[in-house]
Chain A
């Protein structure tokens, strides 16, 4: 049996790289999707609000793992070969969109109503008020929870291992299959995740303190 060496370590680092790539892709796509969901949730049209709320409920009510299976295996049924990275990206995008959309809706709604009124009375249109007055204030309010959620996303990418995408967790499994040193291997995997997530958590907490959200 081989022992843990530089080769395994490099393989793990490559996995870490893919974890970061998948996190960034899902976060980037999810940001776009989440922005759309947020706009739909604060729309003046009731049907639009309800449809968006329903979609959020559906996505939030299904485990991410099952969502991944649906996208990966479900689509293959139609004879379309789905690349694991693509499947994972799509499933994570849905997941991130639903949660960020909800987080951001909360931030938009926590900007005081009088700000809308003031903007409106100066003659700004609804979209101008949103873009120039409400969103800049909401972004500031939402940053801590958004970055906090990014931590969840990084950890959630580990589920992509089940559809055969070789990110950090899957890399650990593969190495362990040949070395059979689970404690060492998964402790290392855990450490890598921690090194990614801890700075993000700290950053989020620091922003929260700066904003003094608790005292509002």
Chain B
């Protein structure tokens, strides 16, 4: 099985601050990978590089066959293959839930109105929000908004989905409903990369855990590394996290 996402010696700096100091990762189709680590360890930056929201200064990234490094990237095609969900939901406030989902289906995938509607209804049912289709984002709770954001991304039928601390802005009660949706997707075989602080969730759902520390991939392995860390840093991190 060949990797669907492959990072090799990726480097990235913001000014004097070297955020990624050469990270390498391989993710296979259908895998669920959780990236964990302290704030400032570079985990969000690594994720954003995979969708070309940040450009890299060294190394190479290959996502669904697209080379993201030097040279021109076919962003249009990349964004059809990769979906991303953000911490702050980033729904379009001037559109209803259904319109949020249909916008890119109509203007990017150029589907007919009927097809857009059908897809929108299907993904909304999937995240359990069929009855909220005509609401505006501000009328929904944070957890519901995040589920809409997941549905919006899902509707584009990406091959890989990236989740950037999607529950960090939510209280524990609402976190549960969002994690449930992600868990369902995992069960459905979606390839997912999650940057998360939810250790228990990562341990339960992820096939692979990537622990980042000071801009490096410090330790990686199956979910068992959370209960039996090999490095002192992960031990300390888990000690404070669980």
Chain A residues within CB distance 8 Å of chain B:
114-115, 117-125, 128, 132-133, 136-137, 140
| Interface-centre pick from A123, A124, A133, A137 (highest chain B CB count, 10 A) | A123
Contact B103 A122 (CB under 8 A): yes
Could you tell me the distance between the alpha carbons of A136 and B91 in the complex, rounded to whole angstroms? 14
Contact A123 B156 (CB under 8 A): yes
Contact A122 B94 (CB under 8 A): no
Could you tell me the distance between the alpha carbons of A136 and B79 in the complex, rounded to whole angstroms? 23
User: Which of these binds chain A: B80-88, B112-120, B192-200?
Assistant: B80-88
A-B contact pairs, 12 of them (CB 8 A): A114-B90, A115-B90, A118-B91, A121-B51, A121-B53, A121-B82, A122-B156, A123-B79, A128-B108, A133-B103, A137-B92, A140-B94
Could you tell me the distance between the alpha carbons of A41 and B113 in the complex, rounded to whole angstroms? 35
A contact residues around B153 at 8 Å (CB): 121-122
A contact residues around B108 at 8 Å (CB): 122-124, 128
B contact residues around A114 at 8 Å (CB): 86, 88, 90
B contact residues around A121 at 8 Å (CB): 51, 53, 79, 82-84, 153
Smallest CB separation, A139 vs chain B (Å): 9
A contact residues around B92 at 8 Å (CB): 115, 118-119, 133, 137
Q: Which residue of A has the minimal Cβ distance to B91?
A: A118
A contact residues around B90 at 8 Å (CB): 114-115, 117-118
Contact A117 B107 (CB under 8 A): no
Q: Which residue of B has the minimal Cβ distance to A136?
A: B94
| Interface-centre pick from A115, A132, A133 (highest chain B CB count, 10 A) | A132
Smallest CB separation, B154 vs chain A (Å): 11
Please report the number of residue pairs spanning A and B whose Cβ atoms sit closer than 8 angstroms: 54
Q: Which residue of B has the minimal Cβ distance to A120?
A: B79
B205 at the interface (CB under 8 A from A): no
| Interface-centre pick from A118, A119, A133, A137 (highest chain B CB count, 10 A) | A118
Smallest CB separation, A121 vs chain B (Å): 5
A contact residues around B79 at 8 Å (CB): 120-123
Could you tell me the distance between the alpha carbons of A103 and B88 in the complex, rounded to whole angstroms? 27
Could you tell me the distance between the alpha carbons of A124 and B107 in the complex, rounded to whole angstroms? 7
Contact A117 B76 (CB under 8 A): no
Smallest CB separation, A209 vs chain B (Å): 18
A contact residues around B76 at 8 Å (CB): 123, 125
B49 at the interface (CB under 8 A from A): no
Contact of B103 among A117, A125, A132, A140 (CB under 8 A): A132
Smallest CB separation, B78 vs chain A (Å): 8
| Interface-centre pick from B82, B84, B107 (highest chain A CB count, 10 A) | B107
Could you tell me the distance between the alpha carbons of A117 and B84 in the complex, rounded to whole angstroms? 10
B185 at the interface (CB under 8 A from A): no
Could you tell me the distance between the alpha carbons of A119 and B86 in the complex, rounded to whole angstroms? 12
